[in-house]
Amino acid sequence: MSSTLFRTKKVEQSILDTEEPEHALKKSLSALDLTVFGVGVIIGTGIFVLTGTVAKNNAGPAVALAFAAAGVACALAALCYAEFASTVPVAGSAYTFSYASLGELPAWIIGWDLVLEFALGTAVVAVGWSGYIQSLMDNAGWQMPAALGSREGSDVFGFDILAAALVLVLTVILVLGMKLSARITSLVVAIKVTVVLVVIIAGAFLIKAENYDPFIPKEKPVEAGSSLDSPLIQLMFGWAPSNFGVMGIFTAASVVFFAFIGFDVVATAAEETRNPQRDMPRGILGSLLICTTLYVLVSIVVTGMQHYSRLSVDAPLADAFKATGHPWYAGFISFGAAVGLTTVCMILLLGQTRVFFAMSRDGLLPRFFSRVHPRFKTPHRPTILLGVIIAILAGFTPLTELAALVNIGTLFAFVVVAIGVIILRRTRPDLPRSFRTPWVPVIPILSVCASLWLMINLPAETWVRFGIWMAAGFLVYFLYGRGHSRLARGEATEQQPTTGGGGTTTL
């Protein structure tokens, strides 16, 4: 039984599957498109909210160092993703990489995990976007009816029509084609980055040197908690991280890390890239470098404009401009955040549909969903299905308590990809690799350690919910996926030998 659960799909077979006419995606993306996608999904509300919040509660002005540390942790995972995405340029990201290196069951687990991660991520971002739009409407004197407004903190039964409408509109755009999606994303990202740059440049003239004193505030110990709301590491070892001081920088890094989540979505578009061997590493690493630079600059500006102890938690950057006598920028920042969230939502939805499509093409989900549109060459069926489901989810559900599941899902994918790089280097040293992760296995091991560290700093309640979702995934796999897998049914026998360098492929 174990040989069937861990049968691997050869890289060559995965690439051959992308050439089947009815299941082939259109190759239309460039390195610039991929970089724009990465910047579009990474830069969200985090740059406008997390910078000040973490400075006030965890690190002070040293939050800039926390962003740099989190960027390094992300870079470790990004190097592993870059190697896999350029070597196995197939839709599905970590799912496809796992199928080639770890086996079918681990691939199913990570695919099931990514479906949850991207679905909840899309819904959470849509609800956040709705909140920004309603805030701008309130400023203009327009009021949404309570029954059609945000569900966050509301006791009134209703439907967040703005969040649902955003998801449905983006679903239509994704069905119409990747190039259209890339053009819209480029326009929105240009607006978003312009807003960020204006904030950085304008804020630089309002910096007061005394606000950086002390740059690293005196350490403040934190009492360990004992409930499910507490980080898992506290329940396991009774250890609580410190705020401020040198250790506070690393505490802050574990928080601001989640502002970087999203670069892995770029890897889901590998199959739709014209030259993935060259462009995937550029897109993944380039977008991460740009966003890290912007995050560090924003954190330096906001802590220089206003002393960290006086920063607000809800809208620190906007309120910092108000405190210095420039209230106009507050509305400008809200506009930038609202515009920027549209691309975050679209790219997360894009990532989910590609993972779903790849699992369907392999037979682990119904093959009905792996047929592309005859004209647009997009996976229209899973895009429409998932778009409607997520629109309903975003409309009816306040999702704040579920947002942490997005984080644990992403970190779990990081761990699997890093391990997969090590395994595939050993089992398939013959594979042509246009980009090679340096210092293997040191870099992948460091990536695993960094991701695990951040995972155990998540609330224990998140682990419980993640475990329930994974248990449901095991049930679906053994009831459907295992028996309908194309490897199990022998559909790839003629093109794939029963044993190979990629591992055991018992059919």
- The CA-CA-CA angle for residues 38, 39, 40, to 5°, reads 90
- The token pair at 289 is 């470098």
What pLDDT was estimated at residue 110?
93
Which residues, 6+ apart, have CB-to-CB distance to 360 below 8 Å?
366, 367, 368, 369, 370, 382
Full domain range(s) for residue 73: 2-504
What pLDDT was estimated at residue 208?
93
H helices of 140-240, in order, are 161-176, 178-204, 232-237
Is there a cis peptide before residue 327, judged by omega within 30 degrees of 0? Answer: no
Taking phi over 0 as left and psi of -120 to 50 as alpha, with beta for the rest, 490 belongs to: left
503 membership: H or E segment, kind and range:
strand 503-504
Q: Give the closest residue to 12 by CA, choosing from 349, 501, 422.
A: 501
- The token pair at 400 is 């704040």
266 membership: H or E segment, kind and range:
none
CB-CB neighbours of 405 under 10 Å: 23
499 membership: H or E segment, kind and range:
strand 499-500
Which residues, 6+ apart, have CB-to-CB distance to 347 below 8 Å?
37, 40, 41, 185, 262, 265
CB-CB neighbours of 284 under 10 Å: 31
- The token pair at 478 is 């053994």
Across the chain, which has 507 residues, the per-10-residue mean pLDDT values are 79 89 87 92 77 88 94 93 93 91 94 88 85 76 73 64 94 88 87 89 93 92 75 81 87 82 84 93 94 94 92 76 81 80 88 94 94 91 96 78 71 92 94 93 96 86 90 95 87 43 36
CATH of the domain at 284: 1.20.1740.10
Number of domains in the chain: 1
How far are the Cα atoms of 127, 258, 282, 398 from residue 338, in angstroms, in the given order?
11, 19, 28, 18
Report residue 10: phi and psi, to 5°.
-60, 145
Q: Give the closest residue to 297 by CA, choosing from 403, 405, 193, 165.
A: 193
Report residue 239: phi and psi, to 5°.
-100, 135
Residue 90 three-state SS: coil
Is-contact 242 224, C-beta < 8 A?
A: no
What pLDDT was estimated at residue 285?
94
What pLDDT was estimated at residue 2?
60
Under DSSP, the state recorded for 213 is: S
